[in-house]
Amino acid sequence: MPNFPIDPHGSSAVEARSSLSISHLIQTLQHYRYVIGLAMAGVAVGCAILAIAVYLLAPFQRVTSQPFRLEFKGATVGEYPNGVKFSAAEIASTSSRSTTSAAPS
């Protein structure tokens, strides 16, 4: 049982004053409903602007396809002209593409 102070008019009056009134809470929210709505709309607009900025400023990657043909002796059997074996995966690997597409300095 809660320990309420002694009230000469009866303990029920003290209990009613110390408890949270739902009607008071609802009235307060109704008074501030436009401010609350405006704040929520501002947060929504801010989130939308942030999401659009992240989307537009995010890095992107373009995937292209460039067909090529090897025209040296031994290419059909997977050999360089000096006789060293190779595979198509070596030619299309990321390390060989980055060195061939790098801008000259």
Answer yes or no: pTM beyond 0.85.
Answer: no
Residue 50 banded pLDDT, cuts 50, 70, 90: very high
Residue with the larger pLDDT of the pair 72 and 7: 72
Distance CA 10, CA 1 (A): 16
Q: Which residue has the tokens 């074996």?
A: 85
> How do residues 51-81 score in pLDDT, each as one tens digit?
999 999 998 888 877 787 888 888 888 888 8
The yes-or-no verdict on residue 45 having pLDDT over 90 is yes
Amino acid 46: pLDDT:
98
Contact 73, 81 (CB under 8 A): yes
